[in-house]
Structure 1
Amino acid sequence: MSEAYAIIGAPRFGGILVVSDHASNRVPDDIDLGIDAALLNQHVAIDIGVAEVGALMAQQAGIAAFQGGISRLVCDFNRDENLPTVVPIASDGHAIPGNALDHAGHQARLARFFRPYHEALAALLAETPQALILSLHSFTPQLASSSEKRPWHVGVLYNEDDRAARIAIPLLEAEGLCVGNQQPYSGKLLNATMNRHAEADGRPYLGIEVRQDLIGDAAGQAEWAARLAKIANVVAVEIS
């Protein structure tokens, strides 16, 4: 067991692994972020709904889930290690004063959370190769720092490797969804975990962003878990 991550289900050779960097809003008792506790239930702290969707998907044969175990405000796993945003001092207009760390404190966060998370994910993928990695995130319908609405039901993100995205986008559109191709932001800019564990080794992956209000309750989580499991299985077969 690790405080940095959790594995749900049993990863199988040639299966599907659902990776959710921001699945938890947990802040360890010995860390004080200096923020209003209410922020921990907002998108700045957690990708709302993805833990539940991933866990439901992992109940299906051939699918397992790898989920971050602490809030992205403590340590953001979907960032490059050398960037200051891996331990954010602000998020969507909210200051995080407890993250104003000196060099030793910053390195301690990386050693405690970031490196164990990525080392474990790398080991899992090396020991049990997957047919497809599904990178699962959620996004807020509107950022507090912006007046722009985000109308997409789901976004598909990728960097250089768009093999899975090309298959998944029409499948999602066939569900009657408003699908964002590189929306609400580009996977060429925010794709650190998949760049490291998929693109770097040529592993097929699909970056999915679901609008958080669609997976904020049990009914929506069940609906999207079934939908994404079905689509991921089709993508895994077609991409092989």
Structure 2
Amino acid sequence: MSGLPYKQVGMPAQGGIVAICDHASNAVPNDIDLGVSPEVLGKHIAVDIGTLGVVERLATSHGIPVHHATLSRLVIDLHREVDSPGLIPETSDGHQISGNLAADHDARIQRFYHPYHEAFSRWIASAPPKLILSIHSFTAELESKQEERPWEVGILYNEDDRAARHAIRLFREEGYITGDNEPYSGKLLNATMNRHAEAQGTPYIAIEIRNDLIADEAGQAKWAALIHDIANRVALALD
């Protein structure tokens, strides 16, 4: 991974749309041993599969600036509150992350978590956006628990559902099986948008894409174009 825990592509424009992707990478710094195999680092517990390709295309093909993580969520989960038990996971979907059992939490927070979020705060403060997109992906089936996950995309929200309501309607109108606070609820897991959107009064769309739909370049390009279109329609509807 690069020296910074984030990368920014493009520059925000006043009143525009920006995107953030907390789980874009499965990279692990050379000086951290998670105690897991390369196979585990390819799973959804280490990275939101396909999201990097989506957000890179949002930035380069569709003009939506992106701030994204450059390290694995197994090193530190940037989409958690700083005091969350899952911030530096010791287990995830049935896999033990043995290298985290004795991790120095404060050191990782200072090295990765604070720089990531402070950089995004400065970035959007320079040109406050009208709408923030939070891009994630989910697996159609967990390894440790059997449950039906029929959705192709989910829209999450906590208290502020202004943009979410429009996005849910628009995805459904396009024919997609769209979860309303599914496959899990933004009222429980919404840390990044709680901090950077809800706390600032900025509308947002937290988007969860089923990862098999964006596992290849064609799917990533399709979903980047779709998200760009729907995000712009939501921004207009918010006027």
Q: TM-score, normalised by structure 1?
A: 0.96
Does the aligned pair in 1 maintain the 2:88–2:105 contact within 8 Å? yes
**CA–CA distance in 2 between the matches of 1:63 and 1:176?**
24
Asked if residue 121 in structure 1 is aligned to residue 132 in structure 2, the reply is: no
Partner of 1:71: 72
Partner of 2:39: 38
Partner secondary structure for residue 7 of structure 2: strand
Residue-by-residue CA offset, 1:47-70 (whole Å, 9 max, x unaligned): 001111001011245410110110
CA RMSD of aligned residues (A): 1.2
The alpha-carbon deviation at position 10 of structure 1 amounts to: 2.1
Partner of 1:209: 208
Does the aligned pair in 1 maintain the 2:12–2:124 contact within 8 Å? no
Does the aligned pair in 2 maintain the 1:12–1:62 contact within 8 Å? no
Asked if residue 111 in structure 1 is aligned to residue 110 in structure 2, the reply is: yes
Gaps of 5+ in 1: none
The one-letter amino acid paired with 2:167 is A
Q: How does 1:1-240 map to 2 (within 5 A)?
A: 2-60=3-61, 62-101=63-102, 105-240=104-239
Aligned-residue identity in percent: 53
Partner secondary structure for residue 171 of structure 2: helix
Greater CA drift, 185-194 or 8-17: 8-17
**CA–CA distance in 2 between the matches of 1:101 and 1:197?**
30
**CA–CA distance in 2 between the matches of 1:95 and 1:144?**
13
The alpha-carbon deviation at position 204 of structure 1 amounts to: 0.8
Partner secondary structure for residue 154 of structure 2: strand
The alpha-carbon deviation at position 101 of structure 1 amounts to: 2.4
Gaps of 5+ in 2: none
Partner secondary structure for residue 78 of structure 1: coil
Following superposition, which runs of at least 4 residues in structure 1 exceed 4 angstroms of deviation? none
**CA–CA distance in 2 between the matches of 1:87 and 1:61?**
34
The one-letter amino acid paired with 2:183 is P
Does the aligned pair in 2 maintain the 1:13–1:128 contact within 8 Å? yes
The one-letter amino acid paired with 2:44 is H
Does the aligned pair in 1 maintain the 2:62–2:225 contact within 8 Å? no
Number of equivalenced pairs? 238
